[in-house]
């Protein structure tokens, strides 16, 4: 449980187990009747992920995967989410949710809240291999739970300027993933020095990677420590999840009451 130091405080934010909120699954079914297969297939985020998993799917994609944006829309609207923090690659999924809300409200009245996406300064983080997206399935990600050794090993394998063979070759930090990550984890002074020395051939890639690895390690250290604390105190994790799920269930029930009333499905309630 690293949530406490990466932006989510259990005392302020409800953390729950999705599979224990049946209302979300029920709402997913309702929404699935408002979206065509053709529309789901046009979703660029889904199209990209299908292409990446072609070996898994072959020529046939499951509805569960194709319809993930529908389930995500239910996740958001079950709790009347107004602002949704996402990465840039997730914007099409949020737009899909907004379309579903507008469709539902146009049929049944103004019942659901239409959410808006919120982007951070790091709206899209590239993978260590230069891929436009960092992801577990792509094997190009640094995890918050990685040990110092794992972080160092991953950073040392990061893609650099392919035209720079020797230490004194003039480099191009604009096409180097190490320089890219320095912009995320290093100080302005360090970034300036890294780029200038790279361009002049005064800094080798190995030294640059070691410095980056150390900066990432220091940034993630308090997160790893908090994770270790919760791993050693599972009873606290259970308490957070149990209380959060109970609270979330009550909100979900109220949302479904409004939805079913609008759809005239509340005959026995």
Separation CA 171–CA 58 (nearest Å): 41
* Residues 6 or more apart in contact with residue 201 via CB below 8 angstroms: 167, 168, 169, 170, 171
Q: Domain residue spans in the chain? A: 3-124+239-262, 136-227
The answer to whether the beta carbons of residues 255 and 79 sit under 8 Å apart is: yes
pLDDT tens per residue across span 238-247: 999 999 999 9
**Other C-beta atoms within 10 Å of 117: how many?**
19
Confidence at 2, pLDDT banded by 50, 70, 90: very low
Of the options 3.90.1150.10, 3.40.50.620, 3.90.1200.10, 1.10.10.10, the CATH number for the domain spanning 3-124+239-262: 3.40.50.620
Can you tell me whether residue 203 is helix, strand or coil? coil
| Contact present, 155 and 181 (Cβ < 8 Å) | yes
For the chain, percent of residues with pLDDT exceeding 90: 61
- Which 8-state DSSP code applies to residue 119? E
pLDDT score recorded for residue 100: 97
Regarding predicted confidence, which is higher, 138 or 14? 14
pTM of the entire structure? 0.79
Q: What is the DSSP letter of 214?
A: H
pLDDT tens for each residue of 143-176? 988 999 999 999 999 999 888 888 888 989 999 9
Q: Residue 179 in contact with residue 193, Cβ under 8 Å?
A: no
Q: Which CATH number fits domain 136-227: 3.40.50.740, 3.40.50.150, 1.10.240.10, 3.60.21.10?
A: 1.10.240.10
CA distances from 121 to 110, 156, 192, 242 (A): 33, 25, 19, 33
What percent of the chain shows pLDDT beyond 70?
96
């Amino acid at each position: 449980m690293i949530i406490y130091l990466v932006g989510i405080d259990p005392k302020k934010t409800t953390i729950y187990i999705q599979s224990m909120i049946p209302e979300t699954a029920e709402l997913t079914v309702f929404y699935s009747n408002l979206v065509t297969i053709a529309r789901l297939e046009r979703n660029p985020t889904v199209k990209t992920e299908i292409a990446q998993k072609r070996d898994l799917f072959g020529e046939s994609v499951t509805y569960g995967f194709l319809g993930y944006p529908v389930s995500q829309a239910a996740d958001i609207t079950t709790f009347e989410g107004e602002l949704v923090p996402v990465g840039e690659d997730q914007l099409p999924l949020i737009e899909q949710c907004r379309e579903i809300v507008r469709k539902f409200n146009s049929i049944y009245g103004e019942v659901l809240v239409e959410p808006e996406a919120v982007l951070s300064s790091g709206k899209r983080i590239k993978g260590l291999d230069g891929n436009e997206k960092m992801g577990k399935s792509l094997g190009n990600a640094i995890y918050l739970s990685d040990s110092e050794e794992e972080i160092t090993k991953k950073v040392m394998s990061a893609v650099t300027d392919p035209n720079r063979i020797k230490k004194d070759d003039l480099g191009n930090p604009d096409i180097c993933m190490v320089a890219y990550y320095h912009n995320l984890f290093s100080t302005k002074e360090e970034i300036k020095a890294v780029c200038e020395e790279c361009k002049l051939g005064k800094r080798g890639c190995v030294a640059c990677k070691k410095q980056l690895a150390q900066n990432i390690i220091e940034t993630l250290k308090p997160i790893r420590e908090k994770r270790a604390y919760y791993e050693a105190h599972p009873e606290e994790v259970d308490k957070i999840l149990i209380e959060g799920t109970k609270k979330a269930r009550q909100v979900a029930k109220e949302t479904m009451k409004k939805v079913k009333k609008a759809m005239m499905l509340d005959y026995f309630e």
